Amino acid sequence: MTDRHILSEPIVITGIGMIASVGDDRESVWEAVRQGRSNFRYLRGIRGIVDDTIVGATVDLPQRLDGRLKVLPLCEVAVAEALEDSGVDLSNIDLDQFGCSIAGHMGDTSWMEEQLGIPLPEQRPDWWEQWLPNTACSLIARKYGLGGPRLCNSTACSTSLISVMTAVRSIRDRQCDIMLAGGADALDPMFVAGFDRMRVLAKDDDPNLACRPFDQSRKGFVFGEGAAIFVIERLGHALRRGATIYAEIKSSSALAQAHHVTGIDAESETLEYLIQSALRKANVVPGDIGYINAHGTGTEQNDAAEAAGIRRAFGDMTDGVCVSATKSILGHMINAAGAAELAITTLGLRDGFAPPTLNLHNPDPLCTFDCVPRTGRNNRYQHALKLSLAFGGHLVAMVLSRWNDAATGFAYPPTVAPAVFGEGQAGPLQSPKVDLRRSM
């Protein structure tokens, strides 16, 4: 195989692992998203935070943490599922060509609480887990003996999407053939207190109604916990080992707005350019995109700026694309948000389904596109766009294309009537029962 061929070879997704507040594995999370079933609640027991004042979408882990950072077992659960899903045999693969790109995360901040006189838990993380933001990345690489690139970045809530982007670039640069990529996150008391002080956290008498992206009455975002990890690899590598392929990562682009630490440029010229760049590199036009998974935090400024950028980039084609904000279901997972929403986008491609935006009853006039309000729908699109708009001006766009080869990918589920459920109502349409390790 020539160097030129390797550099242009498709990069594909062959495994997905996920855990969130609405499910402890990929398919249960996806089914909750399809049904529009969230799991927000007022939180109790967060050190330094008054009970029942913060809404969150947390994960109840069955195992004891025993002083460990919660982000670590969340990541381990998603990684284990992604590897199993991909069917990769670690005993029959060159581990020196297997890399790891996992998002940075918060460390142990209890020493700050100690200065404030807040009682500390009896057990605390080991010293090597306390400080380094790349702890999860290093832990996973060591656990599975991965000798390829070990990469970690910290770019606010675009972090895990950039982790996937970085993994793709590592494969294209011939540093490895296959990588684990994504991220995990768990509530941190200091983060919770900081965002509460900024007054960007949404609250409501009914916590499941708190997050309202693109709605005129939106109040802010809701914290979420969880993890999403992908196995991505060169197409030739995937085919040689008989992998089943979800989608091709056609392109990705990242830009900085250089505007404000927490604010977004309302004119959205940078976002418009970013989207156009990602589409151009993917060799698709706006009319080819059938679904956009928006950053969609539910904050007044973010939603308006994102809507303006989409409208500017898609022009007359905007009305023909479904745009949903799945933070209304999963909450905002911060460092894990981009990967979790990319996983939802990938599963939407697999099943031909556009997830809903919950709690959208009175669309903001500025959000002039199809936000898939309250109820998801069948939509067999071939190309999808994932956006992340993070604090610090980190903007990321990624284009995915469905893998339509029936021999090496997933067939569409049988044709069914349009979905008629959403916002917590279980419906008749179920996720397909598929053999996730089916070979060619």
Q: How far apart are CA 2 and CA 7, in angstroms?
A: 9
| Predicted pLDDT of residue 263 | 55
Catalytic annotation, pick one of 75, 100, 137, 157: 157
Is there a catalytic annotation at residue 383? no
Q: What is the mean pLDDT of the chain?
A: 87
Please tell me the class of the 251-402 domain: alpha beta
Q: How far apart are CA 228 and CA 343, in angstroms?
A: 7
Q: Residues 293-317: pLDDT tens digits?
A: 999 899 888 899 999 999 999 999 9
Catalytic annotation, pick one of 105, 237, 295, 394: 295
Question: Taking the model in full, what pTM does it have?
Answer: 0.90
Q: If you average pLDDT over residues 236-251, what whole number do you get?
A: 97
Catalytic annotation, pick one of 75, 176, 237, 332: 332
Torsion of CA 94, 95, 97, 103, to 10 degrees: 150
Do the strands 98-102 and 150-151 form a parallel or antiparallel pair, or are they unpaired?
Answer: parallel
| Predicted pLDDT of residue 425 | 44
String of DSSP letters for 382-419: SEEEEEEEEGGGEEEEEEEEE---TTTBPPPPPP-PPP
Is there a catalytic annotation at residue 157? yes
Superfamily holding 3-240: Thiolase/Chalcone synthase (3.40.47.10)
| Predicted pLDDT of residue 430 | 32
Q: Residues 122-172: pLDDT tens digits?
A: 666 666 666 678 899 999 999 999 999 999 988 878 899 999 999 999 999
Q: How far apart are CA 134 and CA 335, in angstroms?
A: 12
Q: If you average pLDDT over residues 97-111, what whole number do you get?
A: 84
Q: Residues 5-54: pLDDT tens digits?
A: 556 899 999 999 999 999 999 999 999 999 999 999 999 988 778 999 99
Question: Exposure of 202 by Cβ count < 10 A (0-12 exposed, 13-18 middle, 19+ buried)?
Answer: buried
**Are 33 and 18 a contacting pair, CB within 8 Å?**
no
| Predicted pLDDT of residue 128 | 63
Q: If you average pLDDT over residues 99-126, what whole number do you get?
A: 74
348 Cβ contact partners less than 8 Å away, ≥ 6 residues apart: 291, 293, 354, 355, 379, 381, 384
| Predicted pLDDT of residue 222 | 95
HSE-up (13 A, CA, CB side) for residue 321 = 28
Is there a catalytic annotation at residue 152? no
Supply φ then ψ for residue 414, to 5 degrees.
Answer: -55, 150
**Are 282 and 251 a contacting pair, CB within 8 Å?**
yes
Q: Is 279 left (phi over 0), alpha (psi -120 to 50) or beta?
A: alpha
Q: If you average pLDDT over residues 231-249, what whole number do you get?
A: 97
Nearest to 160 by CA among 95, 86, 79: 79
Q: Residues 390-438: pLDDT tens digits?
A: 665 679 999 999 999 989 999 998 865 554 445 554 333 333 333 322 3
What stretch(es) of the chain map to CATH 3.40.47.10? Answer: 3-240, 251-402
| Predicted pLDDT of residue 92 | 94
| Predicted pLDDT of residue 333 | 94
Q: How far apart are CA 87 and CA 208, in angstroms?
A: 36
Q: How confident is the model at residue 109 (pLDDT cuts 50, 70, 90)?
A: low
Instruction: Measure Cα distances from 149 to 238, 275, 392, 398 in Å.
Output: 19, 28, 26, 21
